[in-house]
Chains A and B, each alone.
Chain A
Amino acid sequence: AQTVTQSQPEMSVQEAETVTLSCTYDTSENNYYLFWYKQPPSRQMILVIRQEAYKQQNATENRFSVNFQKAAKSFSLKISDSQLGDTAMYFCALNAGNNRKLIWGLGTSLAVNP
């Protein structure tokens, strides 16, 4: 079975600081994609960053980067220079093999404080 676990239901960070959200997953597939999605209070879910399992280099998108540890099945998201607009629910998701489904974590609610 494929699973995604986000062990931090809530986190907070001061504006301009760095925060790391954790995600662990399990799959028996060799090739898969991992995603971080963000859902702000306005509710529209948007993709933050994605990582292909075969790529050793960690993905980065501006202030967002991941620490992908394939052996440990860990996929954490680092947000640098946090901004108030980063306040949102963050979901980690896995899509593996022939599965048409994204497997989702429960999410981490991040509050960026001024």
Chain B
Amino acid sequence: ETGVTQTPRHLVMGMTNKKSLKCEQHLGHNAMYWYKQSAKKPLELMFVYSLEERVENNSVPSRFSPECPNSSHLFLHLHTLQPEDSALYLCASSQGITFSYEQYFGPGTRLTVT
């Protein structure tokens, strides 16, 4: 595997389910990100981790719970989601969190909440 991988690629869940999204980066980066991508909206940054420490949490509802056990893995735990949470969830990584570093993205998980 190379780059940034995400599983699953597609997920359909009911509002009462609990599921997790997984992201893995094979680039030796120190920072990882979760984004939400919805139609007609700019990408929304959800969480930022640097060296496994959460450094940014952009007023994301508590039904989204991130976990970063090490610098290569990032999870997004989902529970009691709402239909408006349906979107493409993108994971990204970068060498560091300063503004000069470009981010490398995974293919995304298409989430549908029914």
Task: Tell me the A residues contacting B by CB distance below 8 Å.
Answer: 4, 32-33, 35, 37, 42-47, 50, 52, 91, 95-106
**DSSP class of B's interface residues: helix, strand, loop or mixed?**
loop
Chain B contacts to A: CB under 8 angstroms: 40-43, 45, 48, 55-56, 58, 88, 90, 92, 97, 99-100, 102-108
With A95-B99, A100-B48, A101-B58 known, 4 other A-B pairs at CB within 8 A are A35-B102, A37-B105, A50-B102, A104-B42
Enumerate chain A residues within 8 angstroms of B102, measured Cβ to Cβ: 35, 47, 50
Cα of A25 to Cα of B107 in the assembled complex, Å: 27
| B108 nearest CB across to chain A (Å) | 5
A32 touches B99 (CB 8 A): yes
28 A-B residue pairs with CB within 8 Å: A33-B100, A35-B102, A37-B105, A43-B88, A43-B108, A44-B106, A45-B92, A46-B105, A47-B103, A47-B104, A50-B102, A52-B100, A95-B100, A96-B99, A98-B99, A100-B48, A100-B55, A100-B56, A100-B97, A100-B99, A101-B45, A101-B56, A101-B58, A102-B103, A104-B42, A105-B42, A106-B41, A106-B42
